[in-house]
Amino acid sequence: MSFAETRTLKQRVLAAGSWSLAGYAFSYAFRLGSTLIMTRLLVPEMFGIMAIATMISVGLAMLSDLGLKPSVVQNSRGSDPSFLNTVWLLQICRGLVLAGCLILVAIGVGFAGRLGAIPTGSVYEHPSLPYVIAALSLAVIVNGFESTKTLQASRNLLLARITGLEIVSQIVGFAAMVTWAIVDRSIWALIAGGFASTLTRTVLSHTALPGTSNTPQWNRAACAEIIRFGKWLFLSSALYFVATNGDRILLGAMVDPATLGAYAVAFLMFSSVDQVLTKMVVDVSFPALSEVVRSRPIDLKRSYYRFHLAIASAAYFSAGCLMVSGEKIVSVLYDARYQQAGPALQILSVALLAYPFRIATQTFLALGLAKVYFQLHLIRIVVLFLAVPFGFNFLGFPGAIGGVVLSYFSSVPLTLIYASRAGLVDIKRELLPVPAALLGAVCGWMLKHGIVNFVH
């Protein structure tokens, strides 16, 4: 019997949550520090270009997402070697196809620029963008060979090993990035750092994690199960990419590279909170709720609200704090070239108030309701692509960011409808964490004035 099997679900959830928070604390501090260093070594335009190239790479990955991780976590065969090896083979093939697609996109962007089919002065017109996109294909290939041991660890809530793997990968990537930037202060420093991080993670996934060692294997029954569960996740992931990256897709055609670079900095700080909450929801609550559904579904609502209280409190507190102090934080951490990021961060932080409803969407997945997941993302993307241009047309850059925030709330009504049908809604428990927003605002006010007094 494995170590994971000898511990109760509660023990594994607490351990996984602790490691997620510890990993986040390190990751946030490390990324913040590395961003501060790199923004002093590189100009804002490079971050804007990298934001678009990364968005394209991530977009293609999500457009081809087969739901491999959720399949391993949710499926009763998630520990079967033949199932895992089939997943690994599909993952490798997908990586190779994605790399080819990235190269084709790079060629297309290059030709469009030469033909004058791209708005003048936009990020997409920059001559280095096609080369950056093509270079990212190498990391995509390497990532395809990552071991399914990471998926097994997620299924069993063994996040200590995964957290360690991610920390080491970040450190190696940052070291490569700074080393390159010292020699050559170009955008290739960012690319080198990303590749080094991906390569380190892939190697460590095979050598530093417990679980089934991978060899290419094709199991027809396993493939059928993956496709049956993953077909809606495939469509959902495509929409999720557009929903979460559409802001940069739209803004890239509306604003200049420097403004987009400032937005990228604001979004990085906003996503630092968003990502730790996502990590808790996806890596902790989803596996735990999936196990509850498999073993004792009668406890689902109680388990759901245990996660809701913790995650909603953190989301509301963070929103209140950043809404009040975001601009002052940016003014202290970044130089004058990035000051547009301050107001952008304050507006974006409002979106954190919608975050607790993501726990419900993960619960729908645990219940096998992948189609609902698709519908929620469809609503969000429609609102995003209507609200951002509308906001930009009437209120400029701040109005466009307001449109981004509105898209986060657009799927909340439908989420509540489906959650009610699943017997998950309890109004009192929904409102219980709300005071955390007020507490966050008070702490934000204290932080803001503490910074002012310290500076003066």
Cα 385 to Cα 250: distance, rounded to the nearest angstrom: 8
Residues 37, 178 contacting (CB under 8 angstroms): yes
178 and 168 both lie in a single domain: yes
Q: How far apart are CA 109 and CA 133, in angstroms?
A: 9
Is the same domain home to 244 and 267? no
User: Same domain, yes or no, for 287 and 349?
Assistant: yes
The residue among 189, 220, 254 that closes a domain is 254
Domain boundary among 254, 272, 301: 254
Write out the residue range of the structural domain in which residue 188 sits.
1-254
End-to-end CA, the chain: 61
The DSSP output letter for 432 is T
Do residues 290 and 319 share a domain? yes
- Give CA–CA dist 287/12, Å, rounded: 10
Whether residues 232 and 327 share a domain: the answer is no
**222 & 275 share domain:** no
Separation between Cα atoms, residue 380 and residue 360, nearest integer Å: 16
Do 305 and 374 fall into the same domain? Answer: yes
pLDDT along the chain (456 residues), means of 10: 53 71 72 75 77 82 76 76 90 92 90 74 77 92 92 80 87 90 86 92 91 86 80 74 77 78 84 81 82 82 89 93 88 78 90 90 81 85 91 89 92 90 87 93 85 54
Residue 158 pLDDT: 77
Smallest CA-to-CA distance from 376 within 405, 431, 416, 423 is with: 416
Are 198 and 341 members of one domain?
Answer: no
Q: Please give the single-letter amino acid code of residue 65.
A: D
- In 3D, which of 170, 174, 163, 172 has the Cα closest to residue 209? 163
The answer to whether residues 337 and 214 belong to one domain is no
What does the pLDDT read at residue 204? Answer: 94
Q: Do residue 196 and residue 272 come from a single domain?
A: no
Shared domain for 241 and 359, answered yes or no, is no
Domain edge (last residue) among 199, 233, 254 = 254
Structural domains of the chain, count? 2
Residues 141 and 225 occupy one common structural domain? yes
pLDDT at 169: 92
